[in-house]
Chain A
Amino acid sequence: MNATRGSSPRLYTAALLLGAVVPSVARADEAADPAKTPPATATPPATATPPPRAADAASTPTGRFEVGSYGRVHIASDLRGGTGRKANVVAHGTRIDEDDYAELELRREDTFRGEVKSRVVATLALFGPFFHFTGKVPDQLAVRNLYAQGTYKGVSVWAGARMYRGDDIYLLNWWPLDNQNTIGGGAFGTLTDSGERDGPPRYETVLAVHVGQQRLDNPFQFQKTPVVAPSNGFGTVDVVKLDRPRMVETLKLTQHIRDGRGGFKAALYGEAHQLAAGVYRDTLTNQDRGLPDDQGFLFGSQLTYYTGERDTYASLWLRHARGLAAYDPLAVPQTFANDRTTSGTTETTIAFATNFERESFGVLGAAYLRFFRDGSGSVLSPQKYDEGTAVVRPQLYFHEHFGLAAEASYQARRLGVLDKAADAPVTASVIRGAVIPYFSLTGKGSFKRPQIYAIYALASRDAGARSLYAAEDVFSTRKLEHYAGLGAEWWFNSSSYP
Chain B
Amino acid sequence: MQTLRAPLAALALAAALAAPGAGCVSVPVEGKQPLLATHVKDWRDEVIYQVLVDRFANGDVNNDYRVRPGYLARYQGGDWKGMREHLSYFKDLGVTTLWISPVVKNVETDADVDSYHGYWAQDLTEVNPHFGDLAELRALVAAAHTQGLKVVLDIVTNHMGQVFFYDMNLNGNPDIYIGGTGKTSKVERVSEFDPDWDPRGVQAATSLGEAGRAPIYFIQSPEINRVPPKPGILGTALGYHGFGRILNYDDEKQRLLGDFPGGLKDVATEVPEVRATLIDAYARWVESVDFDGFRIDTVKHVEYDFWKVFSTGLRQRLAAQNKKNFLLFGEAFDGNDQLLGSYTQKGMLDSVFYFSQHFQVFRDVFQNAKLAGKQQAGTDKIQALWESRKTNWSAEPQDLGVGVPPAKLPVNFIDNHDVARFLFEAVGDKDALRNALSYLMTVEGIPCIYYGTEQDFAGGNDPANREVLWDTGFSTRGDTFRHIAKLARLRAKHAALRRGDTTVRYATPHVGAEDDAGILAFERAGSDAGASYALVVLNTNAKKASTTADGAKPMAVGAKPGTVLVDVLDPASGPATVTVDPQGAVRVTVQPQRAVILVPQDQAK
A and B pair up: yes
Contact surface of A with B, Cβ cutoff 8 Å: 257, 264, 282, 284-285, 287, 303, 305, 314, 316, 318, 320, 322, 334-336, 338, 340, 346-350, 352, 369, 371-373, 376-381, 384-386, 414-418, 420, 423-425
Given contacts A377-B60, A380-B133, A380-B135, contact A285 B25 (CB under 8 A): no
Cβ-neighbour of B136 out of A369, A379, A420 (below 8 A): A379
B452 → chain A closest CB, angstroms: 22
Cβ-neighbour of A336 out of B16, B61, B136 (below 8 A): B61
Given contacts A285-B69, A371-B21, A386-B24, contact A318 B60 (CB under 8 A): no
Task: State whether B60 touches A338 (Cβ < 8 A).
Answer: yes
A287 → chain B closest CB, angstroms: 7
A260 → chain B closest CB, angstroms: 13
- Which A residues lie within 8 Å of B19 (CB)? 320, 346, 348, 371
Task: Give Cα A257–Cα B288 distance, bound, in whole angstroms.
Answer: 60
Task: State whether B133 touches A417 (Cβ < 8 A).
Answer: yes
Nearest neighbor of B33 in chain A, beta-carbon distance: A423
A-B pairs with lowest CB-CB distance, top 4: A346-B21, A350-B16, A373-B21, A348-B19
- Which B residues lie within 8 Å of A369 (CB)? 16
Task: State whether B71 touches A285 (Cβ < 8 A).
Answer: yes
Question: B178 interface residue, CB < 8 Å from A?
Answer: no
Task: Give Cα A384–Cα B28 distance, bound, in whole angstroms.
Answer: 13
Task: Give the interface segment out of B6-14, B270-278, B419-427.
Answer: B6-14
Q: What are the interface flags for B1-32 relative to A under an 8 Å C-beta threshold, 1 for contact and 0 otherwise?
A: 11001001100110110011111111110111
Cβ-neighbour of B61 out of A282, A340, A414, A418 (below 8 A): A340
Cβ-neighbour of B25 out of A284, A385, A423 (below 8 A): A385
- Which A residues lie within 8 Å of B288 (CB)? 420
Nearest neighbor of A301 in chain B, beta-carbon distance: B12
A222 → chain B closest CB, angstroms: 20
Q: List 7 A-B contacts (CB under 8 A).
A: A334-B62, A350-B13, A378-B59, A379-B139, A385-B25, A420-B288, A423-B32
Instruction: Name 6 extra pairs, CB < 8 A, besides A340-B61, A379-B31.
Output: A338-B60, A346-B19, A379-B136, A380-B27, A423-B27, A425-B27
A471 → chain B closest CB, angstroms: 10
Task: State whether A418 touches B59 (Cβ < 8 A).
Answer: no
- Which A residues lie within 8 Å of B130 (CB)? none
Given contacts A285-B70, A348-B19, contact A424 B27 (CB under 8 A): yes
Given contacts A264-B1, A285-B69, A386-B25, contact A418 B135 (CB under 8 A): yes
Task: State whether A418 touches B31 (Cβ < 8 A).
Answer: yes
Task: Give Cα A336–Cα B16 distance, bound, in whole angstroms.
Answer: 24
B42-76 with Cβ < 8 A to chain A: 58-62, 66-71, 74
Task: Give Cα A349–Cα B16 distance, bound, in whole angstroms.
Answer: 7
Question: B445 interface residue, CB < 8 Å from A?
Answer: no
B18 → chain A closest CB, angstroms: 9
Nearest neighbor of B60 in chain A, beta-carbon distance: A378
Task: State whether A376 touches B62 (Cβ < 8 A).
Answer: yes
B245-295 with Cβ < 8 A to chain A: 288
Q: What are the interface flags for B151-192 relative to A under an 8 Å C-beta threshold, 1 for contact and 0 otherwise?
A: 000000000000000000000000000000000000000000
- Which B residues lie within 8 Å of A424 (CB)? 26-27
Question: B81 interface residue, CB < 8 Å from A?
Answer: yes
Given contacts A379-B133, A379-B135, A379-B136, contact A346 B20 (CB under 8 A): yes
A324 → chain B closest CB, angstroms: 15
Task: Give Cα A318–Cα B61 distance, bound, in whole angstroms.
Answer: 32
Task: State whether A371 touches B22 (Cβ < 8 A).
Answer: yes
Contact surface of B with A, Cβ cutoff 8 Å: 1-2, 5, 8-9, 12-13, 15-16, 19-28, 30-33, 58-62, 66-71, 74, 81, 132-136, 139, 288
Task: Give Cα A376–Cα B64 distance, bound, in whole angstroms.
Answer: 12
- Which B residues lie within 8 Å of A264 (CB)? 1
B5 → chain A closest CB, angstroms: 7
Task: State whether A378 touches B62 (Cβ < 8 A).
Answer: yes
Task: Give Cα A64–Cα B58 distance, bound, in whole angstroms.
Answer: 62
Task: Give Cα A36–Cα B151 distance, bound, in whole angstroms.
Answer: 70
- Which A residues lie within 8 Å of B60 (CB)? 338, 376-378
Task: State whether A318 touches B15 (Cβ < 8 A).
Answer: yes
Task: Give Cα A350–Cα B25 distance, bound, in whole angstroms.
Answer: 17
Task: Give Cα A109–Cα B207 distance, bound, in whole angstroms.
Answer: 80
A104 → chain B closest CB, angstroms: 38
Nearest neighbor of A333 in chain B, beta-carbon distance: B62
Task: Give Cα A382–Cα B136 distance, bound, in whole angstroms.
Answer: 13
Nearest neighbor of A339 in chain B, beta-carbon distance: B61
Cβ-neighbour of B22 out of A314, A348, A385, A418 (below 8 A): A348
B37 → chain A closest CB, angstroms: 17
Task: Give Cα A257–Cα B4 distance, bound, in whole angstroms.
Answer: 15
Given contacts A348-B16, A350-B13, A417-B133, contact A378 B22 (CB under 8 A): no
- Which A residues lie within 8 Å of B71 (CB)? 285
A304 → chain B closest CB, angstroms: 11
- Which A residues lie within 8 Å of B8 (CB)? 303, 316
Task: State whether B24 touches A380 (Cβ < 8 A).
Answer: no
A286 → chain B closest CB, angstroms: 10
Task: Give Cα A418–Cα B134 distance, bound, in whole angstroms.
Answer: 7
A91 → chain B closest CB, angstroms: 14
- Which A residues lie within 8 Å of B32 (CB)? 423
Task: Give Cα A348–Cα B22 distance, bound, in whole angstroms.
Answer: 6
Task: Give Cα A348–Cα B19 distance, bound, in whole angstroms.
Answer: 7
Task: Give Cα A377–Cα B61 distance, bound, in whole angstroms.
Answer: 10
- Which B residues lie within 8 Å of A348 (CB)? 16, 19-22
Task: Give Cα A316–Cα B12 distance, bound, in whole angstroms.
Answer: 8
Q: Of A284, A346, A384, which is in contact with the most chain B CB atoms at under 10 Å from its CB?
A: A284
Task: State whether A287 touches B16 (Cβ < 8 A).
Answer: no
- Which B residues lie within 8 Å of A322 (CB)? 20
Given contacts A320-B19, A338-B59, A414-B25, contact A284 B5 (CB under 8 A): no
Task: Give Cα A242–Cα B62 distance, bound, in whole angstroms.
Answer: 21
- Which B residues lie within 8 Å of A285 (CB)? 68-71
Task: Give Cα A423–Cα B29 distance, bound, in whole angstroms.
Answer: 10
- Which B residues lie within 8 Å of A316 (CB)? 8-9, 12
Task: Give Cα A282–Cα B65 distance, bound, in whole angstroms.
Answer: 12
- Which B residues lie within 8 Å of A303 (CB)? 8, 12
- Which A residues lie within 8 Å of B74 (CB)? 284
- Which B residues lie within 8 Å of A257 (CB)? 1
Task: Give Cα A378–Cα B139 distance, bound, in whole angstroms.
Answer: 10
Q: Of B8, B20, B139, which is in contact with the most chain A CB atoms at under 10 Å from its CB?
A: B20
Cβ-neighbour of A414 out of B24, B33, B70 (below 8 A): B24
- Which A residues lie within 8 Å of B61 (CB)? 336, 338, 340
- Which A residues lie within 8 Å of B133 (CB)? 378-380, 417-418
- Which A residues lie within 8 Å of B135 (CB)? 379-380, 418
A438 → chain B closest CB, angstroms: 31
Task: Give Cα A380–Cα B132 distance, bound, in whole angstroms.
Answer: 9
- Which B residues lie within 8 Å of A418 (CB)? 27, 31, 133-135
- Which B residues lie within 8 Å of A373 (CB)? 21
B86 → chain A closest CB, angstroms: 13
A356 → chain B closest CB, angstroms: 14
- Which B residues lie within 8 Å of A376 (CB)? 60, 62
- Which A residues lie within 8 Å of B28 (CB)? 379
Task: State whether A415 touches B25 (Cβ < 8 A).
Answer: yes
Task: State whether B5 touches A380 (Cβ < 8 A).
Answer: no
Task: State whether A380 touches B31 (Cβ < 8 A).
Answer: yes
- Which A residues lie within 8 Å of B13 (CB)? 350
Task: Give Cα A415–Cα B61 distance, bound, in whole angstroms.
Answer: 19
- Which A residues lie within 8 Å of B33 (CB)? 423
Task: Give Cα A388–Cα B2 distance, bound, in whole angstroms.
Answer: 26
A68 → chain B closest CB, angstroms: 34
- Which B residues lie within 8 Å of A287 (CB)? 69-70
Q: Of A303, A334, A380, A420, which is in contact with the most chain B CB atoms at under 10 Å from its CB?
A: A380
Task: State whether A379 touches B30 (Cβ < 8 A).
Answer: yes
- Which B residues lie within 8 Å of A305 (CB)? 1-2, 5
- Which B residues lie within 8 Å of A377 (CB)? 59-60, 81
Task: State whether B24 touches A381 (Cβ < 8 A).
Answer: no
Nearest neighbor of B16 in chain A, beta-carbon distance: A350
B71 → chain A closest CB, angstroms: 7
